[in-house]
Structure 1
Amino acid sequence: MANTTSAKKATRKIARRTDVNKARRSRVRTFVRQVEEAIASGDADKAKAAFLAAQPELARAASKGVLHSNTASRKVSRLAARVKALSVSATA
């Protein structure tokens, strides 16, 4: 348990930041899940729209420190490849 005043304040700040970060992480997961569901359904237009919405969310999470920047880049890259493959197979 925190004893000093500054330690007590630090625990309050950590609790607030934890809540904010949980919300951000949940939001990112929701956007990524929407892209994956669109890919699974086979709808190329819907997948592309969902991907374009998810991309800035991942970048924002990386800039806020919720995700590591390399993790966000990797997720964007892999989702982009899957969306592209879906659109190529839809046109072929």
Structure 2
Amino acid sequence: MSREISYDEYYSGISPKDVLKEMKESSFPGLYKKSASCIVYLEKERKIKIVPYLYNGSEYGLNEVTNDIKIIDLEENDSIQVTYEIEKILNKKYN
């Protein structure tokens, strides 16, 4: 579950406990165990790089899933295709 937050909400000091409560989770490690995440980078030459991450326990934290990194050329693809690729990564089951 994710949602967009406003600038004011981000800087209002909302507590991590409130975030967890809203997401119906008891802890961040529990949330990480159940979900995938990614970072989207804007690279040189109008390319987008999507890097998925997977939780590998409290000792290791989040680690890159290097074999699933996607690079998308914005000259050849539109924002719909980029969104589709992000969605595929976030919905992939790794465990």
Q: TM-score range by the shorter chain?
A: under 0.3
TM-score, L = length of structure 2: 0.24
Q: Who wins on radius of gyration, i.e. which is larger? A: 1
Task: Say which structure is richer in strand.
Answer: 2
TM-score, L = length of structure 1: 0.25
Structure with the larger RCO, 1 or 2 (CA within 8 Å, 6+ apart): 1
